[in-house]
Every structure is written in C-alpha cells, then in structure tokens.
Chain A
Amino acid sequence: MLNLRMILPFRFFLKPIRQGCVEASAALLVGGFIYIFWRSNSLLMFRWFHFLGMDEMIRGWRTFVGSFRPSGFVLYSLPDAAWSYAGTVLFSSIWIGSRASYRYFWIALVPALSIGGETGQAFGWVPGRFDWNDLYACSVASVLALIYVKQSFHA
C-alpha cells in the first residue's frame, strides 16, 4: 500500500515542521485577532479587508467585542510576542536535525528582528515607539519558543 508520507516533499522532517506550523499558526491567530478586534482601523490590514469585501464582518466582530477592552500589554505587546514566538518556533522546527552552519541564521532571524527592531526604536534607528514591555515580551516569547522546540523534539 502506498505510504503518502513517502511522497510528500517534506517527508524527512514532516513531524517537526507540521507541529511547528500548527504552533506558529496558533500564535499568529492570537496576535491577528487582537489586531482585528481592538487595534486602530487605520492599520494597513484593514485596507486589505476592505479590498476583500470583509468590512461588514470585521465591523460586526469589533462591535461584538467592543464592550471588552484588554489591558495595554495584551493590546500592544502580546501581538509582537506572538509574532516572535511564531517565527522562532517555525524556523526552529524547520531546521531541527540539520547540521548546516547557517541554520543558526534562520533560527535567530525572527528574535533578532523583533528584539533588534525594538532596541533600534529606543535609539531612534527604527520608526515607532520604544516600549520596555514589547522588548520583554519578544525576548521571553523567543526563549519560550526555543525551549518548547528543544523539549518537544529533543533537539
């Protein structure tokens, strides 16, 4: 009987990457819904939603959750942390088992972008407003992601 796993392109690391994708998607969904529900509708994504004809649906969701407003940390820092976590989990799970020296580049890329970007804001090198909470959240999320991958896949 044909084993489907043998013909899939990522058969050598199907399990870690699949788990990594699920983890990353879940984290991105959490961050994404915070943006959709509570953040300013002047964000670019709302133009995309408008282009896709999703205005009514998004407005309905925002009205539905409108009476509840989470804390500033949840609104502004958690989505950044979710992005860091998602990227770190995704790339760590992709590169598990590889001996290529440049795997470290990919694994460190997202933490470097999020933590480096936030630090750059502190010095005015990157546009945006520096916030210690963002820096802590991204750092903790990246470390948690690495610990999670290491423990899950015994890397």
Chain B
Amino acid sequence: MNKTDIKRNIASVIGMLVLAFLAVGSTDEGSSGSKDDKARNLPEGNIAIINADRGTSLQKDENEKKYQGTTLQFVGVVKDVTSATHAQVMIDSSNYCNVEFSTATVGSLNMGDKLKFTAKIKVFGTGLLFKHELTDAKLEP
C-alpha cells in the first residue's frame, strides 16, 4: 500500500463516518413503524391529521384554515358508532376523529371495520383527549 492509498483510505473512512452520521440523523426516534415511515402511502387526510398532531396551537390554526372547505381522503378503523351518521374513527394509534357523515350510512358498521372515506376537517383536536372533528363525510367503496 503506497502513501497515497493510505491517505485515500483515511479520507474514505472520514467520508463514511460523515455519511453514517447523516444516515443516523435521518432515522426516527421510534421503531421501524414510526410516524414518518407510516406517513408515506397514506391518504392526504391522514397525513394532515398526523402532521397536525405534531404542530403548535398556532400551526394547528393555520392548518385548519389551510384545509378548511377542502375535501380530503381518509382511511381509518371504526372505534364506535353513535348514530347512523356519526362514527368515531381511529386514524392512527394516537389520532381519533369524530366523523359526521352527510348521509345515514354508518349505522350498520361494526367496531374494527376498516373505512375509506372523504371528509372535510372541521377542527383539529389533540388526537386522544380532544378528538379531531371531521364533517361532510362520504363513504368510499
């Protein structure tokens, strides 16, 4: 091994350490099932809810304005049905929504049913204690 190659090796090791440092920085603090990882391939509505969960009150207000009147697509799991037009849906483990459907279509749903629907975001809650409010929802096939 000549002197230049030794320097190349040193430069390569330093370069690899920098790349490894950056790769570690881009990992999620949680496990592989992290929020960031889950956010991909999700409908826009779910992403809006998940992102709102992380924001400050001011950011939530701005997000509410941003999404006001916009119909977004959601997927979730039925946690409760309180009337033919009202269901409680889990968007992810820390985000629950009260969903008001525009027609009486959810009366026959059972707990644990998976739903795909469109709705408008009325109010961002905290996810668990104060649930997000979705309105004008329509079930999708």
Q: Which residues of A contact B (CB under 8 A)?
A: 9-10, 12-13, 17, 24, 28, 32, 35, 39-45, 47-48, 63, 66-67, 72, 75-76, 79, 83, 86-87, 90-91, 94-95, 98, 100, 103, 106, 109-110, 127-129, 131
Contacts and interface: CB of A to CB of B under 8 A. Distances in A.
B28 A40 contact: yes
A40 B54 CA distance: 8
Contacts of B8: 13, 94-95, 98, 100, 103, 106
Nearest to B5: A100
Given A13-B8, A94-B15, A98-B5, A44 B28 contact: yes
B24 interface: yes
16 contacts: A9-B7, A39-B36, A40-B28, A41-B54, A42-B30, A42-B35, A47-B29, A83-B22, A83-B23, A86-B19, A90-B15, A91-B15, A94-B8, A94-B15, A98-B4, A106-B8
Interface in B1-51: 1, 4-5, 7-8, 11-12, 15-16, 19, 22-32, 34-37, 39-41
B36 A66 contact: no
A118 to B, nearest CB: 13
Nearest to A97: B4
Interface majority SS (helix, strand, loop, mixed), chain B: helix
Interface residues of B, number: 32
A27 B62 CA distance: 32
B54 A45 contact: no
Given A67-B66, A95-B12, A129-B32, A40 B39 contact: yes
Given A43-B29, A47-B29, 13 more contacts: A9-B7, A40-B54, A42-B36, A42-B54, A43-B36, A44-B25, A48-B25, A63-B59, A75-B40, A87-B16, A95-B12, A103-B8, A106-B12
Q: Choose among A13, A35, A40, A110 the residue with the greatest number of B CB atoms under 10 Å from its CB.
A: A40
Given A35-B26, A109-B16, A110-B19, A40 B1 contact: no
Contacts of B34: 40, 42
Given A45-B26, A83-B22, A91-B12, A40 B36 contact: yes
A98 B23 CA distance: 28
A34 B35 CA distance: 17
Q: List 7 tightest A-B contacts by C-beta distance, closest first.
A: A40-B36, A127-B32, A45-B25, A12-B4, A106-B12, A90-B15, A100-B5
